[in-house]
Amino acid sequence: VEEIRCVCFDVGGVLLRIRRTWDEVVDDLDWQRRGTIGPLDRIPAFNAFQSGLIDYKQYCHELAVFLGGLSAQQADVAHRSILKEAYPGYPKLLSELAGRGLLIGCLSNTNEPHWERFFNGKLEEMERYFSVRVASHEVEVNKPNIAMFEAFESEAEFSGPEIAYFDDTEENVVAANTMGWRAFLVDPLGSPAELVRDSLESLGVFGARDS
């Protein structure tokens, strides 16, 4: 069995808690809404923005309309409010992985405002561990497009079963598995860091003494 040399993480829902619906965003901002709005990608502009097809100004305009006639400034606030706090347990885990000489990376469907916030505040002391960072708005495609996974392999200089991968979306896990990666589905409502540790233990990265 190929030895794990790289551990790769999705960000939202794996490293970082996020608000997963516009309803949650609007309610937490204490704004009024009429009825159910739906998941983030219910508005087509969301995925278009994350794959670099439209700019932030156009996205905020379309989001403002979608959310019921808000201003572009309010749309900007809503978009930035998707991000919450980091899940507990990761600083120690990442330190241990780095101590074992493993390359640590992230592979995220994201956008420029969120990407900047990941590494300037939201991930705090974890930021320094990520040697390879691949984002959809830079590659100009979204997962599960295989081009995203190929871009990560090119940057990391590892491939296939050398890579352990963690994502909270099943179709992305399936795509990673087609690349030969050892991919695991994360429950964003659970304890992702614990699942990551248990999964890596099953792959021999951690022994029983480390758990």
Which of 196, 143, 205 lies closest to 174 in space, CA to CA?
A: 143
**142/138 Cα distance (integer angstroms):** 10
Cβ–Cβ under 8 Å, residues 137 and 115: yes
Q: Show the tokens assigned to 55.
A: 């700019």
Q: Show the tokens assigned to 95.
A: 């330190």
The predicted structure's pLDDT at residue 208 = 52
pLDDT tens profile 14-73: 999 999 999 999 999 999 887 889 999 999 999 999 999 999 999 999 999 999 989 999
pLDDT tens profile 133-190: 999 999 999 999 999 999 999 999 999 999 999 999 999 999 999 999 999 999 999 9
Cβ–Cβ under 8 Å, residues 164 and 181: yes
Helix (H) or strand (E) holding 177: helix 170-178
Residue 6, helix vs strand vs coil = strand
Helix (H) or strand (E) holding 17: strand 16-18
pLDDT tens profile 122-134: 898 899 999 999 9
Among all chains, which residue has been given the structure tokens 């409010």?
81
Which of 92, 91, 104, 94 lies closest to 5 in space, CA to CA?
A: 104
**143/171 Cα distance (integer angstroms):** 8
The DSSP result for 138-162, as a single string, is HHTS-TTSHHHHHHHHHHHT--GGG
| Distance set, CA 31 to CA 27, 77, 84 (Å) | 6, 11, 18
Query: Residue 84: CB partners within 8 Å, gap ≥ 6?
Result: 16, 17, 18, 19
Strands 83-86 and 16-18: antiparallel
Query: Residue 45: CB partners within 8 Å, gap ≥ 6?
Result: 54, 58, 59, 62, 63, 66
Q: Which residue has the higher pLDDT, 125 or 85?
A: 85
- Averaged over 191-198, what is the pLDDT? 97
